[in-house]
Copies of this chain bind each other. A is one copy, B any other.
Amino acid sequence: MTTRTGPGPRERLLDAAKELTYQQGVGVGVDALLKAANVARRSLYEHFGGKDGLITEVLRLSAAEDEAAYQRAMQAAGDDPRRRLLAVFDRLGDVIAEPDFRGCRYLGAELALADPGHPGHDVIRRYREHVHDLLEGELRALDHPRPSHAADQLLLLIDGTLAVGAVRPETHPAAAARQLAERILDD
């Protein structure tokens, strides 16, 4: 019988940290992370240099995944840039409806990382810029007169949707934001 190797300590740690830092905030203890990942204490410091390194790497990975998810949602919506952009808000509706949705991971981290020098802040900032550029590209394809400004507004709607989704999900923020997005696209 072949020994089923499975993911190594580094990956287990990243997976557990992605989950726990989202559900409990970046303030979770190292012990909880190690226990959830079933990984030796030392491995954390070998692979990431410390808790901050792990958190930063989790943010980096999550950002890449979320960017890919946005692109996938848009791709699945076809070729019409308008439909592709609106598909983003349909996806947000699904995200909010997930049973353990807890708001925007990046905003949570941004507010919780009190040290302004923490490398996580840069990762978060870059992520926003990437999403902005993604939206702006679609708006250009739509021949929108002010694609960058409209992308800023769509980003604001996305953030608002995730914030409201965390506190008042019963008001269907994704649908409300989608209506507002349509008007931005109509400019």
Contacts and interface: CB of A to CB of B under 8 A. Distances in A.
A169 to B, nearest CB: 11
Interface of A: 23-25, 27, 102-104, 106-108, 110-112, 114, 124-125, 128, 149, 152-153, 155-164, 166-168, 171, 173, 176-177, 179-180, 183-184
A117 to B, nearest CB: 14
B166 A156 contact: no
**Among A156, A164, A176, residue most surrounded by chain B Cβ atoms (within 10 Å):** A156
Contacts of A110: 103, 166-167
Contacts of A24: 114
A27 B112 contact: yes
Sorted from nearest, which 5 A-B pairs have the closest CB atoms?
A: A160-B160, A159-B163, A108-B111, A156-B160, A24-B114
Contacts of A149: 176
A23 B149 CA distance: 30
A124 B160 CA distance: 16
Contact of A25 (B106, B111, B166, B176): B111
Given A149-B176, A153-B176, A159-B159, 5 more contacts: A24-B114, A102-B111, A103-B107, A152-B168, A160-B163
13 contacts: A25-B111, A27-B112, A104-B163, A108-B111, A111-B112, A153-B180, A155-B164, A155-B168, A156-B173, A156-B180, A159-B159, A159-B164, A180-B180
A72 to B, nearest CB: 23
